[in-house]
Amino acid sequence: MRGIGHLMKVPGSTALAFGLVWLLLSWPFWAGPEYREPGFLLSYLFIIWIFLVGVPALAAGDSVSTRAEENQQEDAGTDV
Amino acid sequence: MFSSSLLLAITCLYMGLLFITALVVERRAQGGKNPSNHPVVYSLSLAVYCTSWTYYGSVGKAANSGMLFLTIYLGPTLVSIFWWTILRQMVRIKNTYRITSIADFISLRYDKSQAVAALATIIALVGLTPYIALQLKAVVSTFGILTQRPESEAAQSNVGILVVALMILFTVVFGARRIDPTERHQGLVMAVVLESVVKLVAFLAVGIFVTYYLYDGFGDIIARFQLSPWHKLMITGDGRDSSYLTWASYLVLSMSAIMFLPRQFHVAVVENFDERHIPTAMWLFPVYMIAINLFVVPMAMTGLLSGHPVDKADMFVLLLPMAAGQQWLSLMVFLGGFSAATAMIILSSMTLSTMVTNHLFMPLISSFKQLGFLRRYLLPCRWMAIALIILSGYWFEKAVGEFYLLVNIGIMSFAAVLQFAPAIIGGLYWRRGNKPGALMGMSAGFAMWIYTQLIPAFVRNGWLSPALLTDGPWGLKLMAPEHFLGVTGLDSVTHTVFWTMLVNIGLYLIGALYFKGSDQEQRLAEEFVTALRPGRTLGAPVVRQADINLSEKKDLFEKRLARYFPSSRAKNIVDDCIMTLGLAGKEWISITELAELNSAVERSLAGSIGAAAAHSALPERMIFSLTESLALSDVYARKLAELRVPPEELKRRIDYHQEREALLNSQAEEMATQIMEREREIVRRQEVEQALRESEERYRTILQTAPNAITLTRLEGGQYLEANEAFCRITGYPREEVLGKTPFELNLLANPEDRQRLIDELKEKGELIGFELQYRKKDGTIIDALLSARGLRSGREDCLLVVGTDITARKQAEVMLKESEEKYRNLFTFAPVGIAITAVGGRVLSYNDAFLKMFKYDDKDLSAGMNARDFYRNSGADRMEMLNKLMAEGQLENYQEELFDSTGKGFPASLSLRVIQYEGQTCIQTIIRDITEIKKLESALMDYAENLEMMVDRKTRELKAANEELSAVITSLEETREQLAVSAHQAGMAELAVSILHNIGNAVNSINVRLSRLDGNLSGRDIISLEKIHNLLQTEEMIPAQSPAQADRRGKLIKYFDATIASFKENYQRMRDDHEFMKRGLDHVIETISLQQKYAGIRGSETPENLNDLLRDALDMLMDSIKKRGIAVELQQNPVPPVMINRNRMVQILINIIKNSYEAIDQTGRTTDHKINLSTTVEKEDGREYVRIVIADTGVGGAPDVLIKAFRFNFSTKGRGSGFGLHDAANYINAQNGSIDMFSEGPGQGTRMVIRLPIPKGEHGGEQPNNSN
């Protein structure tokens, strides 16, 4: 999870994630009408949604600890 | 279902609960314990995104468009990926610049432009009005459904107005009680969190109920739905509005909305306590949205399966539990929806009002000075803004909302807010983004939004022609709002997103590329773009707590110093530093205090071992722990951030200041000498200032104690800046009432235009002296004042110094003087004596009419120079003599001199002379009286006086003789008095005599009564009867003489009768003589007795007697005589009280009067109309009561002279009367303080005797009336 946390801080990686999710959300419109049936689409979208929620949730605690480490490194660099 | 009042009460109760929650949180926050400073609270506060649109509209959208509704929530989830960068960056900028709103944020980035802020505010205001309308519509609709009110327009209107009023009230109470918008609203945030929980719980409750109670779970519902005819409705992408572009547009809109909706910006950025809360929000907020959307599709399907119409899909959430008879669940759903709506309305209107007041209202009042006073009413203006915003939303809902589902109204607002996105995103990540680009982009995007979203809404509402949508304006189909430039195949929302973003982004780029921002803007752009770079703070708290143990640090310092000094010395150094910094006694210190202490100890140490060694001796890592180092870095970073200067600029400035420091040092010595000089100068100035102060004090004392009124006023406006005590005393106003006011406000000037007149004259002359005007005192009295005025400058103002004197008394004296002069002039002119003012030489200077008349001059003569010397003898020699005397004595009175008129005729005159000053020279005022007549009178008087002396001598002699006679008489009288004194000694003897006299009187009275009766019997009627018989006998018819014998007998008989009659007459005459004799003798006795009684000083034996009884007694005694005469008696007796009277005397008086009455009747010779009326009454006169006896007869009456004489002694109309009866009666009755009067209308008219006798005091009433005839 620490890796995810690091990725979350990289603008490029967040943009990539965003694009990926966007594609996933758009896929039913390209795949055909049967994939836009309420029964399927509801399940599909909720799965993606949970995924979307899960990653930040896992990264959240990790990101705080990462920030503390980062600050310590910065402090060490400035210490005489 | 529920009644309106009950539902309203529950609603208010719920809001009250929220308010109490907010209040408690705010109070705890003030106490240092802030429950809202928590990542969960922060995350749930973001759920204000889920408004009633989510609550009701999602189900409606799902029923119509399938999964499209999810894009509204997937978008925020998608964008949350970037929150750690974007949101954190915004929070940091907010912390640095204390951002209060999204408009503030955008304007800060673009050169702190007011125009950008105003534009952003207008976009937010116009764009969010439909959104607020949506919330109101939801509340009003659900209120109506829950109360099952007939959906009449009036009823809905009433509920709507009520809801609007409540919303305004709640917003003001929750969010706008204070004016400082930079403060966080911890209480409000907590209330929003509570509402988020309520609406989630309510929605989940109804979702579970529908899914698991009405059906058997998701699978059951979906399976049934797939078999239903509404199945196609929910296939996403098949509907007109459900293409992929629509899907993508909704995603973009929702992504934008979660970041840039003003209320979302407020809770996410402005209310953020700590950026470390953001990661939690990144997953917790999407979880919330998943939860709240979990049952949307089942509920939409259930609603359709249950037969509810599709156009009511917005209300499925409420209709389903209601249809199932779940009242309390319905109420819960209502409260959830109400929570969703109120949270949105309160937050949105609060943030919008802040934007409106800060970015529209404040610039406006800054531009117009006349509106400057409104700055003091900023809070009421915010309240008004809140009210207007909510009312505008209500208006929109009433006007347009009917034609839209909830979700469509909301998406319209999302599209408006999207116009912020290019400016904000560009501002955060692109340095070249600038103000012109932002202005052009947002303006164009907003205009396009109005054209493509708002105009169609107006068309659908009927305000504009439908042809506008189909044919475009003026028939230009290319300009059709929903098919702009011929773009077709896009739904309305996608169309708007496409065109607004195209023009917005396009113009933003063009502006950024073609214009260059100012230096400040570039610095700000650098700040924004590099907000997250290392070296910047990371969520450190603004205020550092005192959480470092001082004693531990003190030990640490002492140990480090102990390497160089003895322990006691090291301890002293550290203690001194602690003392100097004011940290003594503290147990805990903050990081900044620790840093200061470190520097102080290092400086102390440097004094002994040098700066470099001292710095090495106290390494920072030894003194500061890692956490403390971080905190210290944070503090420094914040300090730098507060400077708002880019690092390069900061470095440049530091270099500059270092150079400046060197330069300053070189100048220091020079400055030191100058300072010495300055100090001397300061001493001199102080002395001068002291002198000035003393002078000012003296002048102030003079000012305050001056007898004249002194004021200092502003030339423009006229406000009093200073007024002394004399002014206050004269006008009657206390000083504190005067200062700051104008004369007009005090109504001080009797003529308000006088001030302008004064100023005009002052401007003309430069200085004004002797200006008169009238003041009105506080009590209304008008006074006259004489002013001197001068203009002067006080500070930067032109002022007017006015010194005034109350001349009311002088004015009055002048008036009196004028009157006096007028009087003197009149007196001088019209005086009957001659008055002239002459020069000493004699020339006549002034004169009056009498003077002219006296000397027979006319004006011409005098004006020709006539001289007073001409009036005197010997060419004025007499005058000179008189003047010498005048000069010696000062004035002359009644100086007599012979004067000569113009004709040369002399006349004696009396002169009064005064020396006066007239027209600047010494003159003689002469009053001349012609005393010719007086002289004549004096002569006559002298003659008369001589005669008078002779007469006096004669009269004196006569008087002397008379005096001698009088002396003799007096001597005689003295003797008589002595004799009387002797007699008085003998008076005691009289008492016995009186008693005897009384008894004799009583007896005599009885005799007198008998005599009176005898007098009646001696009337001579018997003789008259005999004479009649005698006459009859003489006629033959009576006794015919048939024979001589008979004739002889008749002759004898006649002779016998003649002899008998003669005998009778003789006897009768003798008896009458005897009677008269006796009567006279008796009267004499009675009179004698009476006189004796009188002389004896005794009024007689008066006893209380009732006059009715006495009158009846008297009448009884005379009744025979009366009856014999055929006289009718009418007796009318009224009740009378007793009077003090001598009974016998009074009976005798009454007898006399009654007897007089019938004798008067006898004298008439009439045979008829014989009447005597007697009456007794009580009458009152002069406060005293009398018994009144009236005895009236129809007798001969009396002439006036008879009436006058009737009571005189010895007067009688009867040939044989003694003339004593009435006289005696009058004497007696008068002696009893009564009266007796006699009245008659004239001869033949009868007589009326009236007797009045006083009733003794205390005697009232009497017996009953007794009338008889």
What is the nearest CA distance from B386 to chain A, expressed in angstroms? 36
Which residues on chain A are in Cβ contact (under 8 Å) with B286? 49, 52-53, 56
Tell me, what's the pLDDT at B308?
82
The predicted structure's pLDDT at residue B123:
93
Nearest to B619 among A42, A54, A80 (CB): A80
| A57 to chain B, closest Cα gap in Å | 5
Interface of A with B (CB under 8 A): 8-9, 11, 14, 17-18, 21-22, 25-26, 28-30, 33, 36-39, 41-42, 45-46, 48-50, 52-54, 56-57, 59-61, 63-64, 67, 70-72, 74-75, 78-80
Which residue of A14, A41, A70 is in closest CB contact with B81?
A14
Query: Are residues A74 and B225, on separate chains, in Cβ contact within 8 Å?
Result: no
Comparing CB atoms, the residue among A26, A39, A60 nearest residue B244 is: A26
Which of B286, B619, B621 has the CB atom closest to A52's CB atom?
B286
Q: Contact B1147/B1103 with Cβ under 8 angstroms? A: no
Taking CB atoms and an 8 Å cutoff, what residues of chain B touch A37? Answer: 226, 235
**Is the model's pLDDT at B1035 over the cut of 80?**
no
Round to whole Å and give the CA distance between B1254 and B1137: 10
Q: How far from B658 is each of B264, B644, B651, CA to CA, in Å?
A: 46, 20, 10
pLDDT at B569: 81
Contacts of A61 in chain B (CB under 8 A): 279
Which residue of chain B comes nearest to A55, CA vs CA? Answer: B283
Instruction: Inform me whether the pLDDT recorded for B28 exceeds 50.
Output: yes
Among A4-8, B461-465, B931-935, the range of highest mean pLDDT: B931-935
Chain B residues in contact with A10 (beta carbon < 8 A): none
Closest alpha carbon within chain A to B251: A22
For residue B616, the chain A residue with the least C-alpha distance is A80
Q: From the centroid of its chain, how far is CA B901? A: 79
Cβ contact B78–A25 (<8 Å): yes
Q: Which residues of B touch A28 (CB under 8 A)?
A: 236-237
Is a pLDDT exceeding 50 seen at residue B384? Answer: yes
Cβ–Cβ below 8 Å for B534 and A42: no
Q: Are B637 and B536 in contact (CB under 8 A)?
A: yes
Q: Quick one: pLDDT at residue B422?
A: 94
Of residues B226, B290, B621, nearest to A49 (C-beta): B290
Of the pLDDT bands very low, low, confident and very high (cuts 50, 70, 90), residue B1096 is: low
| ipTM for the whole complex | 0.77
Average pLDDT score over residue span B1234-1255: 90
Predicted local distance difference test score (pLDDT) of residue B609? 65
Q: What is the pLDDT of residue B114?
A: 85
B423: left (phi over 0), alpha (psi -120 to 50) or beta: alpha
Q: Do A78 and B247 touch (CB under 8 A)?
A: no
What is the pLDDT at residue B1218? 58
Chain B segment 437-496 residues within 8 A of A by beta carbon are none
Q: Report pLDDT for B1175.
A: 94
Is residue A77 a contact partner of residue B292, using CB atoms and an 8 Å limit?
no
Mutate to test the interface with A, among B71, B88, B283 (most CBs of A within 10 A): B283
Nearest-by-Cβ selection for A46 from B290, B615, B621: B290
Show the CA angle centred on residue B1152, arms to residues B1147 and B1154, nearest 5°: 95
DSSP codes of every residue in B1119-1175: HHHHHHTT-EEEEEE-----EEE-HHHHHHHHHHHHHHHHHHHHHH--SS--EEEEE
CA distance readout (Å), B167 to B12, B14, B40, B1173: 11, 13, 27, 110
d(CA A12, CA A14): 5
Give the gap in angstroms from C-alpha B101 to the nearest C-alpha of chain A: 26
Residue B184, number of CB atoms within 10 A of its CB:
18
B932 neighbors B907 (Cβ within 8 angstroms): yes
The verdict on a CB contact (< 8 Å) between A52 and B225 is: no
B283/A8 CB distance under 8 A = no
* Over residues B1122-1136, mean pLDDT: 89
A79/B620 Cβ within 8 A: yes
The three state secondary structure string of B1201-1213 is HHHHHCCCCCCCC
**Which residue in A25, A35, A40 has the most chain B C-beta atoms within 10 A of its own C-beta, making it the best mutation to test that interface?**
A25
Are A41 and B534 a contacting pair at CB < 8 A?
no
Between CA B747 and CA B151 the distance in angstroms is 62
Instruction: Decide if B235 and A79 are in contact by the 8 Å CB cutoff.
Output: no
- Residues B62-112 pLDDT 10s: 887 788 888 888 889 888 888 888 898 898 888 777 677 899 899 888 888
Distance between CA B69 and CA B65 in Å, rounded? 7
Of A41, A56, A74, the CB nearest to B236: A41
A25, A39, A60: residue with CB nearest B222: A39
Distance CA B359, CA B352 (A): 10
B235 and A CB contact within 8 Å: yes
pLDDT in the model for residue B205: 92
Report how many helices (DSSP H) and strands (DSSP E) chain A contains, helices first. Answer: 3, 0
Residue of chain A whose Cα is closest to the Cα of B618: A80
Residues of chain A positioned with their CB less than 8 A from the CB of B282: 56-57, 59-60
CA distance B522 to B1205: 147
Nearest-by-Cβ selection for B78 from A8, A52, A54: A52
pLDDT at position B596 over 90: no
pLDDT in tens, B554-585: 888 988 888 777 888 888 889 989 888 888 88
**Of the partner residues B85, B225, B282, the one whose CB lies closest to the CB of residue A11:** B85
Chain B: give the shortest CA distance to residue A61, in Å. 8
pLDDT of B1176 higher than 90: yes
Per-residue pLDDT tens digits for B816-861: 999 988 888 888 888 888 888 888 888 888 888 888 888 887 765 5
B969 contact A CB<8A? no
For the cut 90, the answer to whether the pLDDT of residue B523 exceeds it is no
Check CB contact under 8 Å for B84 and A14. Answer: yes
| First CA to last CA distance, chain A | 34
**Average pLDDT value over all residues in chain B:** 82
CB contact under 8 A, B84 and A8: yes
Give the per-residue pLDDT at B2: 73
Q: Which residues pair with B929 in a beta bridge?
A: B910
Which residues in chain A are closer than 8 Å to B237, comparing Cβ atoms?
28-29, 33, 36
Q: What is the pLDDT of residue B59?
A: 87
For B85, name the nearest residue in chain A, comparing CA atoms only.
Answer: A9
B288 to chain A, closest Cα gap in Å? 10
Encoding tokens for residue B631? 């905190």
For the stretch B692-703, pLDDT in tens is 888 888 888 888
Those of residues 288-307 in B touching chain A at CB distance below 8 A are 290, 294, 297, 301
**B positions 15-74 inside 8 Å of A (CB):** 66-67, 70, 74
